[in-house]
Amino acid sequence: MEHLINIKSLSTDDINKICNRASEFEKGIRRSNHINRHIANMFFENSTRTKLSFEMAENRISANKYNFDAGTSSINKGEDIYDTINNLSAIGINAVVLRHESNTLINELKEKTYYNTISFVNAGSGSSAHPTQALLDYYTIKKHFLDLKDKIIAITGDIVHSRVAKSNIELLKKFNAKIRCIAPIQFQDETLEGIDYYEDINKGFENADIVMALRIQRERIAEKIDFDEYINNYQITKDNLPYNALLMHPGPVNKDIEIKSDVLSMQNAKTILKQAENGVYIRMAILDMILSSYGI
Amino acid sequence: MEHLINIKSLSTDDINKICNRASEFEKGIRRSNHINRHIANMFFENSTRTKLSFEMAENRISANKYNFDAGTSSINKGEDIYDTINNLSAIGINAVVLRHESNTLINELKEKTYYNTISFVNAGSGSSAHPTQALLDYYTIKKHFLDLKDKIIAITGDIVHSRVAKSNIELLKKFNAKIRCIAPIQFQDETLEGIDYYEDINKGFENADIVMALRIQRERIAEKIDFDEYINNYQITKDNLPYNALLMHPGPVNKDIEIKSDVLSMQNAKTILKQAENGVYIRMAILDMILSSYGI
Amino acid sequence: MEHLINIKSLSTDDINKICNRASEFEKGIRRSNHINRHIANMFFENSTRTKLSFEMAENRISANKYNFDAGTSSINKGEDIYDTINNLSAIGINAVVLRHESNTLINELKEKTYYNTISFVNAGSGSSAHPTQALLDYYTIKKHFLDLKDKIIAITGDIVHSRVAKSNIELLKKFNAKIRCIAPIQFQDETLEGIDYYEDINKGFENADIVMALRIQRERIAEKIDFDEYINNYQITKDNLPYNALLMHPGPVNKDIEIKSDVLSMQNAKTILKQAENGVYIRMAILDMILSSYGI
């Protein structure tokens, strides 16, 4: 594995290998030492948790980390980033963890860098992909279900703008899960194949094994949709959440928007912090596999 | 020791244990390796020195450090910080060093985190407490005075708004020092017990063994008090500083405000940079004791 | 070597020693471990590449690094920085890597710090000096030319405002290179000795062994000079660049301003990323020599 750009490029075998390595890190039966490897975390969108999760993973595999925040570095957006990446490569950076508002920039960067080998890990690209989130969600699910075949997974919220939804759908289809998307018409994405849409949350949640909530961007939703109407029709509550369903959320939760506060203290919601924990093992596995491809 | 929130919760025995461990670090007869421990520095107020002092201490005990500056992270203030802390805990953070404008937030956080054990170290909370400053001040004083009983300590400046003053008073009372506060009426705090107030700096300084100056916030004082009048009546000068008194200041000094510039080159003022140096040993000791309570 | 402030203070022998040590680091035949040394990177001007290059060098010699960005720290500019530096010294910082808009501040800091020994490395001071850039340029040149005597080096662009030009000229004169500066009259600096000025780029480039382009500050140039006129008369193109000349640039390049885009894919321009790579070895050598002067 040289890059992790999206879920599409991974086979089910690749995905299981990543999860196996993550599990070895979780159990403490694998240790890695990449003291001579150097990873740049380039976050052009604000992030606390994903960035911390990558930093934690980098420290735990003993790689060197370098943080570039959009605000405080002089990195120019747009065309100049190609030069910046070639420079990072020349200076000795082995891998770039990139979060950027562009759907496609990471692919273009991968094609156009030429100095030394440099690996890219997608930490969130526009509304198109967030592959490490989908992998950690899968790793979390696999602790509860041996096989995803015919399991019903209900994804709820702003599907069309959600990179989390896109990557999860891509992954879950590979394992033949039954995917339902519960969303008002404005939040549906017609280009997605192999999923069923529900506008009625109760029908969508019927017999669901897993409910995946998405983060609603408060600041964006105001322009597009009646806020109260969304809450009335699509908020996850004690009443509509299936009794045994795992409740998942990529965090941070907007309490009383996509999920009613009192749901968060239910047993079903215990998964949410497990997702955060598991993210570290998944990212350790990915970075370890990428850096190991250089040899020592 | 699981947390360090304030001085009140420490016995004199606890305080002496911290100082003894700091002394072992200073002398180089103790080394610690917390390579598997992870500390988040969360500074919601600007800080250069205290933050650097903690970072230095973290490096010297070989812990992993993570910096969150209020400006560049997406941490929301107020209610959402509870979720953030639970996430940090899930991701694997063992201790949080927190500086925040709130007097009480750190206590509330300590009560409401529930995922894994996470320790809190107070690096300055509103105007209520700055326990590591009081501990390093005590450690500095103890190099000059074997026993604080009946020693006269004159604290000068804006007592009511100073977390440094509050924590120092709390600590010095435990060791039966004689505490005088020299301040105009607006800067006195009536709720503090066991201290004597002086409005006349010459009377307050009479026979003082130690003079503790506080940092006057130039930007705030303008609203409350006549600036020139404060300097005329309360500035520490070569004339009013007792000949043998140790002069202490938490830094950075506003030259020619709370202390006249020429005082800073006197032998009495040599203590100020020693405080900065000692802060690192004290913070090493505190973090080491907290992280060691997890075992290895 | 205790400090690196400018090129003037180095003999040719010093410069060759630095390059020899850099070469040992490049070849992997020297390793250093400064795990007990602490370096503060203080960048008061934005920087991505130079700062990353120093961070990479610090990690590779296993020193501890501390980053202060002008924006997020509470460091006051001007007079208070003296106190800050003395505090850093008291806290245990061994070396400061400083970039600042002032031409002279780093010299003043060196003179006025008094607590412990603290070393200064100039990472760019106003328009006066950028010694690590000149050293890495020399190291890069030496891989192509055994001796600089009588080699023709054509420096092109805004000489008067360029700290890169000043430090390179200082260094190249020590090795008896023939230095030409190609610049319009507004960008010439009359105070520089031992160089020849050319206003005609074709004459200036005649038989040149090396062409050093300078970064034109787009935002500044608008006030001073006709932009199109500069491009017409001074842009480096396939037509005017001598066939065998090394093309150098401190980066980042303003494409189609000082250099036409298509020039960057020529063999001559391959040097530019080599400069970035070599910068790490040079900075490792400098920091290693400075920190080693403390002994272990």
**Residues A11-43: pLDDT tens digits?**
999 999 999 999 999 999 999 999 999 999 999
Report whether pLDDT(A100) > 60. Answer: yes
Residue A112 has pLDDT above 90, yes or no: no
Domain CATH for A59: 3.40.50.1370
pLDDT, tens digit, 9 for 90 and up, residues B254-276: 899 999 999 999 999 999 999 99
Which of B53, B58, B59 should one mutate to test binding to chain C, selecting the residue with the greatest count of C CBs within 10 A? B59
> What is the mean pLDDT of the segment spanning C172-201?
95
Does the structure show a pLDDT above 60 at C73? no
Span of A52-56, B185-189, B287-291, C168-172 with lowest mean pLDDT: B185-189
Please state the pTM of the whole predicted model: 0.95
Which of B72, B80, B91 minimises the CB distance to A277?
A: B91
Give the pLDDT band of residue A113 (cuts 50, 70, 90): confident
**Residue B2 located in a structural domain:** no
C69 CB neighbours in chain A (<8 A) are 72
Q: How confident is the model at residue A216 (pLDDT cuts 50, 70, 90)?
A: confident
Write out chain B residues lying below 8 Å of A59, CB-based. Answer: 38, 64
Statement to judge: residues B166 and B58 lie in one domain: no
- Contact partners for chain C, using 3 or more CB pairs closer than 8 A, are A, B
**Inter-chain touch B87–A276, beta carbons under 8 Å:** yes
- A3 within domain boundaries: no
| pLDDT at position A47 | 86
Flag the least confident range among A64-78, A132-146, A262-276, C119-133.
A64-78
Residue A242 CA: distances (Å) to CA of A138, A150, A207, B184, B291: 20, 17, 7, 65, 41
pLDDT at A177 over 90: yes
Residue B7 lies in a domain: no
Chain B contacts of A60, Cβ < 8 Å? Answer: 92
Q: Has residue A77 got a pLDDT over 50?
A: no
**Is C269 in the same domain as C190?**
yes
CA-nearest residue to B115 within chain A is: A273
Residues A136 and A183 in one domain: yes
Closest approach of chain B CAs to the CA of C132, in angstroms? 26
Residues B64 and B88 in one domain: yes
Task: Yes or no: say if A7 and A129 are a contact pair by the CB < 8 Å rule.
Answer: yes
Q: Are residues A138 and A271 in the same domain?
A: yes
DSSP type of residue A129: B
Whether C62 is covered by a domain: the verdict is yes
- Can you give the residue range of the structural domain that contains C205? 131-275
Omega cis (within 30) before A252: yes
Domain identity same for C200 and C150: yes
Residue A44 in any domain: the answer is: yes
Chain B contact set for C68 (CB, 8 A): 48
* In a shared domain, residues C164 and C226: yes
pLDDT surpasses 90 at A208: yes
Q: Which amino acid is at C85?
A: I
Domain tally for chain A? Answer: 2
Cα separations in angstroms, C112 against C75, C81, C105, C116, C143: 17, 11, 10, 11, 39
**pLDDT over 60 (residue A237):** yes
Q: Is residue C173 part of a domain?
A: yes
Taking CA atoms, what residue in A is nearest to B39? A56
The predicted structure's pLDDT at residue B79 = 52
The encoded tokens of residue A156 equal 């709820």
The reply to whether C283 and C240 lie within a common domain is no
- C59 has a chain B CB within 8 A of its CB: no
User: What pLDDT is recorded for position B197?
Assistant: 96
C159 and C115 co-located in one domain? no
pLDDT confidence bin for A139, thresholds 50/70/90? very high
Inter-chain residue contact B253 with C86, CB threshold 8 Å: no
Tens digits of pLDDT across chain B (296 residues) = 899 999 999 999 999 999 999 999 999 999 999 999 999 999 998 888 999 999 999 999 999 999 987 655 555 544 588 889 999 999 999 999 999 999 999 999 998 877 778 999 999 999 999 999 999 999 999 999 999 999 999 999 999 999 999 999 999 999 999 999 999 998 999 999 999 999 999 999 999 999 999 998 765 555 666 788 899 999 999 999 999 999 999 999 989 999 999 999 999 999 999 999 999 999 999 999 999 986 54
C37 shares a domain with C124: yes
Question: Is the pLDDT at C72 greater than 60, yes or no?
Answer: no
Smallest Cβ–Cβ distance between B115 and the set A46, A59, A273 belongs to A273
Annotate chain C with DSSP letters as a single string: ---B--STT--HHHHHHHHHHHHHHHHT------TT-EEEEEESS--SHHHHHHHHHHHHTT-EEEEEETTTS-PPSGGGHHHHHHHHHHHT--EEEEEES-SSHHHHHHHH--SS--EEEEEEETTTB-HHHHHHHHHHHHTT-S--TT-EEEEES--TT-HHHHHHHHHHHHTT-EEEEE--GGG--TT--S-EEES-HHHHHTT-SEEEE----HHHHHHHS-HHHHHHHH-B-TTTS-TT-EEE--S---BTTTB-GGGGGSGGGGHHHHHHHHHHHHHHHHHHHHHHTT--
Q: Mind listing the pLDDT tens digit for each residue in C242-266?
A: 999 999 999 999 899 999 999 999 9
Query: Does residue B92 sit at the A interface (CB-CB below 8 Å)?
Result: yes
- Confirm whether B3 is domain-assigned: no
One domain for residues C209 and C250 = yes
Report the pLDDT averaged over residues C68-92: 75
Q: Are residues B165 and B252 located together in one domain of the fold? A: yes
**pLDDT greater than 90 at residue C75:** no
